[in-house]
Structure 1
Amino acid sequence: MQGHVFETESECVALLVNFDKHKISYIQFGKEAFQLAPKSISILSQCREVVFETAKVHRSRS
């Protein structure tokens, strides 16, 4: 599990990363609790709200 925060005076973006290939990770980040799927990255807008999760991206098949 890893977290990175990018912050200015008015903006905040956080990246939460679960490197484990098999287990869901649970993390308390700020005032919120998050569940991260195995081998995934979650992007948090204003360091609070998940706006993108790689675990929920599906590739299209041609």
Structure 2
Amino acid sequence: MNNSSADGAAAWIAVQVVLKTLIDKGLMTPEDAQALVKQAEEEGRYKAAEDERRAAAGFSSALI
């Protein structure tokens, strides 16, 4: 596993702990937590697609 994968896994574990704590304390419902995770996943996919698009555009313009 490379460092970015390990960092991502560690960050996900931390997020899970925080969400569980909020749910256990009654500060967030499980449904709210699921919605928050879904929104973050969608934003992550969008950002990754944008990064790929920008990288491809930069690579293409470098060839011209």
- Shorter-normalised TM-score: what interval? under 0.3
Higher relative contact order (CA 8 A, sep 6+): 1
- Of Structure 1 and Structure 2, the greater strand share is in 1
| TM-score normalised by L of structure 1 | 0.25
- Of Structure 1 and Structure 2, the greater helix share is in 2
| Structure having the higher Rg | 2
